[in-house]
Structure 1
Amino acid sequence: MALGEVSHGGYEPIAFKANMVRYLIEDKGYRKVLFELPDLTSVRMLRSYLNNQKNAGDTSYITKWIKDAQFVDATTSVCLNLFKWIKQYNDRHPENMVEVMGFEIGKEQSIINFILNKYIIPYDHEQGQRYVYKLNSGVSDVEKVQILNEWLLSNESELRTKLNKEDFKWLYFYIHNAVSGLNYLDKDSKSRSDHSNDANLFRDSVMAENVKYLSGDDKTILWAHNSHVIRTGIKYMGDYLNQYFKNSYYIIATDFSKIARVDVIMKSQTERESKQYVTRTFKSGPSTAAYSILEKYGVSEGVFFHRDMLRMNIKEDTNTIDANGLHFYIPGLHNSFDALVVFSNIYPTAQ
């Protein structure tokens, strides 16, 4: 089940998605929720906290985690309550916990010390000392990730027998995701110079593989932007997942028919600075399904299924506002989504 949002900075779609997550967990037996976030540096510690029975009833870490994440106001308020609810749910269902994970492509370099200290040194102390030297001998982060990947490949069969299944799953995921992250940075640099879309397409292909790997055979909720989950026909994440999961891949997208007043990242900001946001206003595109339903039928909000679009002869175009405030439209296919939740207006905080 994929839950899309038209903008990361609008309250209504995010609040709707949080309510859907609760419903799918309580009434439909879903036990995995995958977020468009990096797992190692963001979600891993939260997952450990949510699943730890020793701190039952304590949600203080969640408040700190949300604050450190520097989300927009909408995500901060909604996810604070959602993760507290998941914690309470897990405390009540210790044998059937909800597991949160991050499927974003790896860009972080903190994997180096993490893999060294959690896996390499405990696995073989003598070999570990050699890798401590290798990874601290002035080589670049790119070379360090390559060293870790070579270590995994040369020891994979033994590691599978010595590590428990869960530890090996994350070891494999983190290293392969870091290698993909380095490839992404290289493609992103080239894409900026030749103005191509190769980097974004590569990122979505990797995130699709991450979702397939992390979800396994379990009923999984996917929390991401509309642009990643919708079927576009251009080989974004949603297209790969639709091809892989077939009839099991169900998409609920969100949109607005009138105005979206949302928070976006300030353009002057660098990646190393604390996140700063500015509120901007966008009008719904005249070609979008949400706008067309309003113009043709006078209905500004509601839940519309794919069959409704066919009956009303409405193209399934959707608005998209990215994190930096770029507003564009995703051309609709005959089945871009299974359901579209339309709001009249979207705001940065609860109205």
Structure 2
Amino acid sequence: MESSTLLGAERKKRTKSTIVMIVLGALIITAFIISMNTGFTRLSPLEVMRTLFGGGTAKQELILFEFRLPRIVISVMVGAGLALSGCILQGVSRNPLADPGILGINAGAGLVVMLFVSFFPTTTAAPVFLLPILALIGATFSAFLIYVLSYKKGEGLMPTPMLLTGIGVAAGISSAMIVLTLRLSPEKYQFVATWMAGSIWGSNWKFVTALLPFLIILVPLVLYKARVLNVLNLGDQTASGLGAPVERERLILLAAAVGLAGSCVSVSGGIGFVGLIGPHLARRLVGPKHQFLLPASALVGSLLVLVADTLGRVILQPSEIPAGILVAIIGAPYFLYLLSKTK
């Protein structure tokens, strides 16, 4: 009788989680459609539909296919990647405040991207496809520093030292970036300032193509490791007792988190707090099991970045507010709230 009750409760949780993810998917589709209609040059829903099926004018096709759609697709991809990265970091470190932006992983990726942009143009195809790889190198360097400085033998990753170390690394890298901007030309300085604010600057199909391989490889790997994350959440000793190779699995998951964050930052700029807010909201909706938490986090992150970017294009037309600023308006108070609740 007790077994059937537990099975019934488990089935209800799965049904609820599935419904939540369907609703999130519907909200993303709705925001996607609204974003296609929104901009300095407005397109009605009928004009959008007509253009999608090849019946629009040359101007409408240019606006929709060359300007809006790539940016919308990148917003969805970046939101999912950053939220998944944050969810992994929170699971591996058992630290609810872990986020690739707060921990300095995004800053490390940004430093290398900025160095590259400072010396090479990004208008040709080759640099565009190199950016995710270069960002990955910078993100890996930051993650390695944080891991080494916050790891304690016998106890694993220490949540509080990890957070403080990450904040310190992020501050140091940000200072180095500010110093480097003093040597930039006005045009490149404008680009770097926009990048640091978190603007979706990679807004053409070349950037979509450059980012897509990383997501195709890493997202299925992360979803496959959902059960491993559940075990790691129990603590190193318990996980080892259950037969999990803790260090190997932790390094694989950290590498996946760094890869997702670094590749996304290379085309989106320094958008922070998505990896913090996305997993927390998803956890409230579907619970702590990573089989549901990971896909729900990706959906919440996509919705968050897509809505922020759409609002940023609308609020101060014809000027734009970078999506990173709008996300930070929500994320900074939420971070302080979580910090006050964390013992």
TM above 0.5, yes or no, is no
TM-score of the pair, normalised by structure 2 = 0.25
Bigger strand share:
1
Larger RCO: 1 or 2 (CA < 8 Å, sep 6+): 2
Bigger helix share:
2
TM-score of the pair, normalised by structure 1 = 0.24
